[in-house]
Structure 1
Amino acid sequence: MEQMDKVGKGTKKFFGEFKDFISKGNVIDMAVGVVIGGAFSKIVDSLVKNIITPLISAVVGKETFTDISFKLGSTTIGVGAFIQSVFDFLIMAFVIFVVIKNMSKLKSMMIKEEEVIEEATTKICPYCKTEINIEATRCPNCTSQLD
């Protein structure tokens, strides 16, 4: 009976944590991420299929790597399909890297812009180099007259 009580409490704790997880909005954030990821995947797939693959085809002479295979006994080993999957992954990873890098750069630029917009509340005394209130007309440390 004691064992059942532990299981019951553990189950309640688990579902309580799940309820907290759902109510925090993390699920919605994840759902939006999955939807955007799916749409982004379609864009990258189109980039690979309609632009990059034809360029490779013009250079290599084959449309895709999936045609590359060899026989091992009576079995056909499709090495090309694996190479194509790796190639698609690398392109996807590269595009995601470029997007994230540019988003990070944009975000840091926006943060710097926000920092510039904030008004200064202090200034540096030109004589003793201590930080003082921006409205001060005389330095409280060295008593110099300020402009």
Structure 2
Amino acid sequence: MKFITAFKAFVSKGNVIDLAIAVIIAGAFKEVVNSVVTLVMTNALEPALEKANVNSLAELPAGLVLVALINFVAIAFICFLIVQSIETANRRKQAVEESKPDPQAQLASAMTHLTEVIEKMTL
């Protein structure tokens, strides 16, 4: 019974659920990339394929491997762009947060200045 309870606790953690959602989205994303790569590569390589009397890349001896390799590179590049944009956004956010003045330091400075002004007025 402890095993089932431990398993339920493991599955209900946010990381596992996030990973499961990422896998589902990646599966859907893969289909989009496959379609785009097939469309682009077929149009880009159409003259060469016609000269070789081949209807599609998959008909070539290593065609399926070539298509899989192109898909991998396309997906890796898009993931790279996504990660880069997220890191850039995080760096900008961090720079904005670091440039904000510390409210405690401002309050202490204001209190010091106010104290000095009051002391000068009483003298």
TM category, shorter: 0.5 to 0.7
Residues of 1 paired with 2:8 and 2:76: CA distance?
34
| Structure 2 contact 42–57 (Cα < 8 Å) conserved | no
Query: Can you give the 5+ residue segments of structure 1 that lack an aligned partner in the other structure?
Result: 1-11, 70-78, 124-132, 138-147
Normalized against structure 1, the TM-score is what? 0.56
Map of 1:31-46 to 2, 5 A cutoff? 31-46=20-35
Are 1:25 and 2:14 matched, yes or no? yes
Determine which structure has the larger strand proportion and give its number. 1
2:83 aligned counterpart, secondary structure: helix
Structure 2 counterpart of 1:68, from 38, 60, 66: 60
CA distance in 2, matches of 1:47, 1:113: 38
**Structure number with higher helix proportion:** 2
TM-score (norm: length of structure 2): 0.64
Deviations 1:53-83 (A, max 9, x none): 145315x6127532322xxxxxxxxx22212
Separation in structure 1 between the aligned mates of residue 85 and residue 24 of structure 2, nearest angstrom:
21
Q: Which has the higher contact order (CA 8 A, sep 6+)?
A: 2
Q: Partners in 1 of 2:102 and 2:32 — Cα distance?
A: 43
In structure 1, the partner of 2:44 is 56
- 1:51-130 residue pairs with structure 2 within 5 A? 52-58=40-46, 61-62=48-49, 64-69=56-61, 79-117=62-100, 119-122=102-105
Identity %: 26
Q: CA deviation at 1:95?
A: 1.3
TM-align CA RMSD: 2.9
